[in-house]
A and B are shown apart, each in its own frame.
Chain A
Amino acid sequence: MKLTRKAALVTAAIPALVLITPVGSASAHGYVSSPASRAAQCAAGVLDCGPTGPRYEPQSAEGPKGQTTCSGGTRQDFEVLNDDNKGWKVTNVGSTMTVTWTFTARHATRDYEYFIGNTRVGFVAGNNQQPNNPTSHSINLGGFTGRQKLRAVWNIGDTVNAFYSCIDINIGGGPTNPPTTTTTTPPPTTTTTTTTNQPPVGGTWAPNTAYATGATVTYDGVSYRCRQAHTSLVGWEPPNVAALWERI
């Protein structure tokens, strides 16, 4: 009887604890945005990486320090990042490359480490300072050549965790292969840079399309005029954003 009462008291205390728990987990997150890491490719929609995970949170490949994975090993929906045969875009680099991180929150940094296989080819001290934005490092690839996987690790200063970001590279890729030739652009965005001053006449609204000011579209049978040049996206359908589309 006593035990039951105690259990009841403990149970009663749980909802209160849940209520004061912060809404999100700690979000001192980050990933390598340039060259496009695997997670960045998921977020850019270059590859289909599943309905959750790195598509929405490229910054959340998190796990305890010292992992040898690309995912951090914490979340199942980030396991896709460990698939070496997924067809990741490979970036041609020289013997030294520049890596740029994108952070979603500032957080004390212990250091950054860069690995090819088990060899640490780069180390940058963080001195428990908050990172600058953007943070770029020049990494000497230690004489490695050819197709490699560079594993970038951001070790957090005041938690046990680190963030992991893998970049597929081809070292000494040769002058005949400019670095951007492997870029994959989804068909709808191919006109992004050229249509700015040519409003399309009519047509049905579509996401990932560059619309110039004055362009007209139809959506659900209703006509709209673009108020401000932008590249459309899901969630910016004309009836949802009066800031971008005026009904005509």
Chain B
Amino acid sequence: MRRSVIAIAAAVLALAGCGGEAIVPEGQGAHGHGASTAAPPVPAASARFNDADVTFVQMMVDHLQLGISLSQVALAKATRQEAKNLAGAINTTQREELATLKSWLKLWGKSESGGADLHAAHGGQPLLDDKVIDGTKEKNGAEFDLTFLNLMAGHQGAAVEMALAAKKDGQNPETAAYAERVVSTRQGQVSQILKIISEP
């Protein structure tokens, strides 16, 4: 197993043709966008990574997509403005993260899919799936709000757990920095949600 990781890492290095330096994926260079948008550079992943990095990023791709799906339902159905604002912010920030993570997997030569199966192998059924998200569409008003907030608190709480594990076991510096941001932003979101729930 270890040997195969080294082999893949070596292959990526060989492909990249530069020993361990950060590799900027095509079209995502720091100066690739028009100057007027002044968007921050998309963090490019370096070629030094291990299985824990890949597992975390693959699981996060699945996790981000589910969070986006749930947010979209909430954008249409939430009645409390705080809940709707949170859904909107999660929707757009997670889309941004998703694009970054997909570019890393492409660079590493790893599949984008498989995250859901990994979740199952890493501690049981994930909280969200398409069926659970569809089920929220049947609810309305305050009942919908509570369901959405409750599900999102659990979903983002699970992201904190995954990111803490990745920080411990991963090797890739960009993944570690991203994991750190996942911990702080998801903790912040859970904190916001718990405040909304406790202040009806």
Residues of A at the B interface (CB closer than 8 Å) are 15-16, 19-20, 22-30, 33-36, 40, 43-45, 55-60, 100, 102-107, 130, 133-134, 180, 183, 185, 189, 192-193, 196, 207-208, 210, 227-231, 233-236, 239-244, 246-247
Contacts and interface: CB of A to CB of B under 8 A. Distances in A.
A19 B160 contact: no
* Chain A facing B: main interface SS: loop
Given A44-B198, A56-B183, A196-B81, A106 B127 contact: yes
A233 B192 contact: yes
With a 10 A CB-CB cut-off, give which of B95, B158, B195 has the most chain A CB atoms.
B195
A240 B184 CA distance: 13
B123 A56 contact: no
A103 B154 contact: yes
B133 to A, nearest CB: 11
Given A22-B121, A26-B123, A134-B146, A34 B40 contact: no
B132 A105 contact: no
Contacts, number: 186
Interface stretch (B11-19, B85-93, B105-113): B85-93
A240 B92 CA distance: 13
Nearest 7 pairs between A and B by C-beta? A233-B188, A27-B123, A235-B185, A230-B89, A247-B38, A243-B92, A235-B184
B28 to A, nearest CB: 13
Contact of B191 (A25, A35, A43): A43
Interface string B152-188: 0111011011101110010000000000010111011
B188 A234 contact: yes
Given A28-B124, A58-B157, A229-B89, 8 more contacts: A20-B1, A23-B162, A56-B164, A207-B188, A230-B89, A231-B192, A233-B192, A243-B93
B124 A26 contact: yes
B55 to A, nearest CB: 5
Interface of B: 1-2, 37-40, 51-52, 55-56, 81-82, 85-86, 88-89, 92-93, 95-96, 119, 121-127, 132, 146-147, 150-151, 153-155, 157-158, 160-162, 164-166, 169, 181, 183-185, 187-192, 194-195, 197-200
Nearest to B166: A23
Nearest to B196: A192
B161 A57 contact: yes
A103 B158 CA distance: 9
B161 A104 contact: yes
Nearest to A45: B191
Contact of B122 (A22, A33, A130): A22
Contacts of A57: 157, 160-161, 164
Contact of B185 (A45, A193, A233): A233
B125 A106 contact: yes
B124 A102 contact: no
B125 to A, nearest CB: 4
